[in-house]
């Protein structure tokens, strides 16, 4: 009995659920009928959104255009830029042809019912579709089956930057559009109006950049899975240098000029000159560290601003070293009361060396005469008999020449010492104050010359403008009318 009751209960529940599902489907059909007009219902009948147009009759051509609404940020640290764009795509789907002469503007949510190109941004790091107050999408169908699909997207795109001439650099960034799954046998991309397919840059205002040039190109992306259509938008950004001149170049140059003030301060004012030198060095170091905060920490190239800051630091440090040299020469300079004593010391040193040589010479002469006198009596006693000592005149003369050789060596040493003294006197600064006088002229002139070379080198480089590439654009689309 319980089994019969259970079976009856299950059957009743099944009938109840079936009726609910039928009512839901009927409600859905009614709602769909309320949303879609009869024309759209007719178009959607038998339409398969999973099959592209011209499935068996060659690739479908998709024309694109861009409207740059804004470029929000350009980051040198991350080497990317963030932009908000309006992307418009247009293609023809023969399955959507209808009678009439007016286009149909549909709700953006109906795009889920249609086939759309699988376009994506190649170097995008992060992107999103705006959805306030509704998803910012537009669908418009023309009587000949042409479909216009527009999106509002904010994307962060990578941009490889060359910062060797920073902040006098020019960066060329790109926005690349490709098909994700359809290769060139299925889909062909083209710019609808060539370079004029991208608009909005003329009215664009950026904080640190100006858009100098832009152009479009068409190419193919080659991967392991095949060749895919690719559209590239190139735009050249030139950095505004005025901010960096006021923020970095002028302060660093003024610090260099400030370091020259020590040349007009007396050399006896040690604390004042040391204070100026150390203060300018530390301030310059802080300025160099601050200039690198907005740049990548790990980069393998030297930037133009690094070169200039290094030049300024070298001049400031050189001014500090200049005072150290001048002060050292002042302490060791024989001026005033000890000038006479210095001359006497040098003269006494030379006289002492001359006396040593004279003493050696007189001793050698005296020794020679003594040996000659001792040899004379022996010669009178035995004039005819040559003894053992008779065979030694040459030996005596040789022994007598030894002091002469010593005298010659001493004379050479004295000459070498005199040359050394004369060389030191040439290197010795007669007046240490002349060092400051020379520095007052040499430092500014050298700094001006280095600046001329620096600005000439970094400002003369003007990159050539790249030409747009229309090699891959089909002839029938080069003069395509705008939509």
CATH number of 42-240: 2.70.170.10
Whole-number pLDDT of residue 1: 44
3-state SS string for the chain:
CHHHHHHHHHHHHHHHHHHHHHHHHHHHHHHHHHHCCHHHHHHHCCCCCCCCCCCCCCCEEEEEEEEEEEEEEEECCCCEEEEEEEEEEEEECHHHCCCCCCCEEECHHHHHHCCCCCEEECCEEEEEECCCCCCCEEEEECCCCEEEEEEEEEEEEECCCCCCCCCCCEEEEEEEEEECCCCCCCEEEEECCHHHHEECCCCCCCCCEEEEEEEEEEEEEEECCEEEEEEEEEEEEEECCHHHHHHHHHHHHHHHHHHHHHHHCCCCCHHHHHHHHHHHHHHHHHHHHHHCCCCCCCCCCCCHHHHHHHHHHHHHHHHHHHHHHHHHHHHCCCCHHHHHHHHHHHHHHHHHHHHHHHHHHHHHHHHHHHHHHHHHHHHHHCCCCCCCCCCCHHHHHHHHHHHHHHHHHHHHHHHHHHHHHHHHHHHCCCCCHHHHHHHHHHHHHHHHHHHHHHHHHHHCCCCCCCCCECCCCCHHHCCCCCC
Question: Tokens representing 159?
Answer: 């941009």
List the chain pLDDT tens, one digit each, 483 residues.
Answer: 444 445 555 555 555 445 445 444 433 443 444 456 677 777 788 888 899 998 888 899 999 999 999 999 999 888 999 999 999 999 999 989 888 888 888 888 888 889 999 999 999 999 999 998 889 999 999 999 999 999 999 999 999 998 889 999 999 999 999 999 999 999 999 999 999 999 998 888 898 899 989 999 999 999 999 999 999 999 999 999 998 999 999 999 999 999 999 888 887 888 888 898 899 999 999 999 888 777 776 556 788 999 999 999 999 999 999 888 887 777 765 554 444 455 555 555 556 555 555 555 555 555 555 556 565 554 444 444 444 444 444 444 444 455 556 556 666 666 666 666 555 554 555 666 678 888 889 999 999 999 999 999 998 864 444 444 444 444 444 444 333
Strands 226-239 and 170-179, by their bridges, are antiparallel
User: 0.75 exceeded by the pTM?
Assistant: no
Closest by CA position to 414, among listed 364, 344, 356, 360: 356
| Contact by Cβ (8 Å): 66, 214 | no
Q: What residues contact residue 50 under an 8 Å CB cut-off, 6+ apart?
A: 115
In this prediction, residue 347 carries a pLDDT of: 58
Smallest CA-to-CA distance from 258 within 319, 311, 308, 309 is with 319
**How far apart (Å, rounded) are the C-alpha atoms in residues 207 and 222?**
37
Query: Under the phi-then-psi rule, with left for phi > 0, alpha for psi from -120 to 50, and beta for the rest, what region is 132?
Result: beta
The domain spans of the chain are: 42-240, 244-333+436-459
How do beta strands 146-158 and 124-129 pair? Answer: antiparallel
Please name the residues in contact with 79: beta carbons below 8 A apart, sequence gap of 6 or more.
158, 159, 160, 161, 296
Return the half-sphere exposure (C-beta side, CA atoms, 13 A cut-off) of residue 460. 6
Contact predicate 252/312, CB 8 Å: yes
The answer to whether the beta carbons of residues 236 and 171 sit under 8 Å apart is yes
The answer to whether residues 360 and 410 touch, using CB atoms and an 8 Å cutoff, is yes
Q: Residue 90 in contact with residue 146, Cβ under 8 Å?
A: yes
Q: Is the peptide bond before 213 cis (omega within 30 degrees of 0)?
A: no
Give the whole-angstrom CA distance, residue 305 versus residue 358.
68
Do residues 188 and 62 touch, judged by C-beta distance below 8 A? yes
Choose among 177, 256, 249, 173: nearest CA to 209.
173
First to last CA, the chain: 75
Contact 208, 169 (CB under 8 A): no
In sequence order, what are the beta bridge partners of 152? 86
Give the separation between CA 64 and CA 90, rounded to whole angstroms. 6
From residue 255, alpha-carbon distances to 167, 274, 289, 313 in Å are 20, 15, 15, 9
Backbone angles phi, psi at 78, to 5 degrees: -90, -10
**Fold held by 244-333+436-459:** Methane Monooxygenase Hydroxylase; Chain G, domain 1 (1.20.58)
Dihedral over alpha carbons 237, 240, 244, 245 (to 10 degrees): 140
Cβ-contact 313, 450 below 8 angstroms: no
Q: What's residue 182's pLDDT?
A: 94
CB count within 10 Å of CB 344 equals: 11
């Amino acid at each position: 009995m319980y089994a019969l009751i259970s079976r009856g209960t299950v059957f009743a529940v099944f009938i109840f659920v079936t009726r609910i599902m039928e009512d839901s489907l009927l409600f859905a059909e009614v709602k769909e009928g309320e949303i879609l007009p009869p024309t759209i219902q007719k178009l959607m009948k038998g339409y398969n959104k999973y099959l592209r147009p011209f499935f068996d009759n060659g690739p479908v051509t998709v024309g694109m255009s861009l409207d740059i609404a804004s470029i929000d940020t350009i980051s040198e640290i991350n080497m990317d830029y963030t932009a908000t764009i309006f992307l418009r795509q247009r293609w023809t789907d023969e399955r959507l042809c209808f009678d009439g002469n007016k286009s149909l503007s549909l709700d953006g949510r109906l795009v889920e019912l249609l086939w759309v190109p699988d376009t994506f941004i190649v170097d995008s790091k992060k992107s999103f579709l705006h959805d306030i107050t509704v998803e910012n999408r537009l669908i418009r169908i023309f009587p000949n089956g042409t479909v216009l699909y527009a999106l509002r997207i904010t994307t962060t795109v990578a941009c490889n930057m060359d910062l060797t001439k920073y902040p006098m650099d020019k960066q060329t960034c790109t926005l690349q559009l490709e098909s994700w799954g359809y290769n060139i046998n299925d889909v062909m991309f083209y710019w609808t109006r060539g370079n004029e397919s991208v608009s909005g840059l003329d009215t664009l205002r950026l904080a640190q950049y100006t858009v100098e040039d832009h152009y479009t190109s068409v190419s193919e992306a080659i991967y392991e899975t095949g060749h895919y259509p690719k559209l590239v938008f190139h735009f050249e950004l030139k950095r505004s240098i005025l901010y960096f001149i006021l923020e970095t170049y002028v302060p660093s140059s003024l610090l260099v000029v400030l370091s020259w003030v020590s040349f007009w301060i007396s050399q006896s004012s040690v604390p004042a000159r040391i204070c100026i030198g150390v203060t300018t060095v530390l301030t310059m170091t802080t300025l160099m560290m601050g200039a690198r905060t907005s740049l990548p920490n790990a980069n393998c190239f030297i930037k133009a601003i690094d070169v200039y800051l290094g030049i300024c630091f070298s001049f400031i440090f050189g001014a500090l070293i200049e005072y150290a040299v001048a002060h050292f020469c002042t302490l060791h300079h024989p001026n005033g009361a000890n000038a006479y004593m210095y001359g006497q010391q040098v003269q006494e040193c030379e006289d002492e060396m001359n006396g040593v040589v004279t003493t050696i010479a007189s001793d050698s002469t005296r020794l020679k005469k003594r040996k000659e006198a001792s040899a004379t009596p022996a010669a009178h006693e035995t004039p005819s008999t040559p003894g053992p000592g008779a065979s030694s005149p040459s030996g005596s003369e040789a022994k007598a020449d030894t002091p002469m050789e010593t005298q010659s060596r001493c004379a050479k040493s004295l000459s070498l010492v005199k040359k050394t003294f004369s060389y030191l006197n040439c290197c010795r600064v007669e007046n240490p104050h002349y060092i400051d006088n020379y520095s007052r002229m040499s430092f500014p002139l050298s700094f001006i010359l280095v600046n001329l070379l620096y600005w000439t080198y970094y400002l003369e480089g003007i990159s050539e403008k790249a030409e747009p590439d229309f090699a891959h654009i089909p002839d029938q689309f080069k003069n395509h009318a705008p939509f």
